[in-house]
Structure 1
């Protein structure tokens, strides 16, 4: 065999073998009969054997043709199956997506989005990493995650698509002297024990910035990494804090009270971050588009699922 036969010539061989007719095979394959005859002749020359016995009225497979037929059927079926699977992967219907998210996003916005995505794309595996913002960006650089739902990057090299802004609010025990109508002043944090989030967390950076703008000296207590811990400490009467409005769903809302905070108005911005210059894998891009559509639809409809997105993490 001088050269391996092409897949197109093997497909034409199948049509002639199935139809026992060059004219019918040329019609089905949408090629001219002379072109079909030339292709079969070249295929026979490549294989150095005659594949069909033919005269003016009959076409029949030779013994070599009979031996070739199941091999070509298997080859073309495997080829078609492989590219069908590949087409599903290119469409984002197969594969794996690794999503990074802030803990409050992971507990608030993502579960329903992952559930609806898995219903639509049952063959895609979804892996979730919940970390602080700095860890998420490092994991993106190391290609451990495909995308992250987090705060804006502090360095170049990333794309950031804004989803929402969320103001910081005062969080205090129900029934305390701070549990009253109307906005609170930032100075309350210098007058009461302040329960702080961990250093380098996005919330800690915001509260530190607010105290600096307001000219306050506030000593943070506990340095919590989990919002549930903050809620428990507040409920125990150990202090107060300032949190983005969207994180409140992770606290025991029946145990805490919230108030707006006066100037400076401090917000935490949340969006979808990806590496600049990197094309997302198809499954990851499908998840990104699904999450954006669900977020926007829920936000417009104002349904319960959307409220958890808006209130439980930005």
Structure 2
């Protein structure tokens, strides 16, 4: 098609062969094959002149559109292969989605503005199920349990802290002894959350019985209850921005080895990420390495 256009524009087989780095016999064979495929003669030629036939002249604008569409499609495809276009569906814990993830997306889209990024917030179990269902490309969550074929790449530690209202700080030593959780009413996350499973495990290990006064599905509710002086909680430090909605909250580190959870990237071991998703994964790891989250 391109050789046909070049001949039609230059009206010269020799000039087209020269700029295309072809021999004239090879060019002539190519045009002949095109004529045979179409069943028409495209050029009238003699020893001096090459002139498009009526069929050849009618074909020129069609081929121009075809080659332009072809070039446009492959430019778009090249951008997809390079990760400059495409779609990334990223799942994240609510605490990550509220603080770290927006910064990562903003940095990512500065250089890849044509990539569509979709966020799916969920608890850890829901994220891992969505990942296995291939409903999301990447999950930013805690390590998976069991034998699921999931690759986990750690990014950062998220320390657990005692969360209270500012007025309670005077009555809580710094760092706070674990007995503090028996001195105040305890506000817990709902039982199916990974945070709740972690706090229950910690209390068991410390020999503490902290029966929840309230069990909440939303961190904002936990923050509101704490702000009203209804109790304290033990939560990952990354959740603090989600609780300080309309209420003031404060926090203390706990005594002894500081408990923490590991936040990282989960991907399916048998799934090759699309270029845009892979570029986003690499950015997440780079941000964690630079500690700029």
Asked if Structure 1 and Structure 2 have the same fold, meaning a TM-score greater than 0.5 normalized by the shorter chain, the answer is yes
**CA distance in 2: counterparts of 1:40 and 1:77, whole angstroms:** 20
Aligned-pair distance for 1:179?
4.6
In structure 2, stretches of 5+ residues that fail to align are none
Q: Which residue of 2 aligns with 1:75?
A: 66
CA RMSD of aligned residues (A): 2.1
**CA distance in 2: counterparts of 1:76 and 1:285, whole angstroms:** 31
8 Å Cα contact 1:107/1:250 also seen in 2: yes
1:272 to 247, 265, 272: 265
**CA distance in 2: counterparts of 1:212 and 1:56, whole angstroms:** 97
**CA distance in 2: counterparts of 1:169 and 1:235, whole angstroms:** 16
- Displacement over 6 Å in runs of 4+: none
Q: Which residue of 1 aligns with 2:202?
A: 210
Matches within 5 A, 1:1-314: 10-155=1-146, 156-176=148-168, 179-252=171-244, 255-263=248-256, 265-297=258-290, 299=291, 306=292, 309=293
8 Å Cα contact 2:172/2:180 also seen in 1: no
8 Å Cα contact 1:172/1:179 also seen in 2: no
Q: Which residue of 2 aligns with 1:5?
A: none
**CA distance in 2: counterparts of 1:186 and 1:30, whole angstroms:** 81
Aligned-pair distance for 1:119?
3.2
**CA distance in 2: counterparts of 1:230 and 1:123, whole angstroms:** 38
Task: Between 250-259 and 110-119, report the one with greater CA deviation.
Answer: 250-259
1:219-254 Cα distance to aligned partner (Å, 9 max, x none): 122111222221221121111111112222223298
Aligned-pair distance for 1:174?
1.6
8 Å Cα contact 1:183/1:259 also seen in 2: yes
**CA distance in 2: counterparts of 1:62 and 1:12, whole angstroms:** 16
8 Å Cα contact 1:233/1:239 also seen in 2: yes
Aligned-pair distance for 1:164?
0.4
Aligned-pair distance for 1:173?
2.2
SS at match of 2:167: coil
TM-score where L is the length of structure 2: 0.91
Aligned-pair distance for 1:264?
5.1
SS at match of 2:162: strand
SS at match of 1:171: strand
Task: Between 173-182 and 159-168, report the one with greater CA deviation.
Answer: 173-182
TM-score where L is the length of structure 1: 0.85
8 Å Cα contact 2:91/2:120 also seen in 1: yes
Count residues with an aligned counterpart: 291
**CA distance in 2: counterparts of 1:153 and 1:171, whole angstroms:** 26
In structure 1, stretches of 5+ residues that fail to align are 1-9, 300-305, 310-314
Task: Between 205-214 and 263-272, report the one with greater CA deviation.
Answer: 263-272
Could you say if the C-alpha distance between residues 177 and 32 of structure 1 is closer, same or farther in structure 2, counting changes exceeding 3 Å?
closer
Task: Between 46-55 and 162-171, report the one with greater CA deviation.
Answer: 46-55
SS at match of 1:145: coil
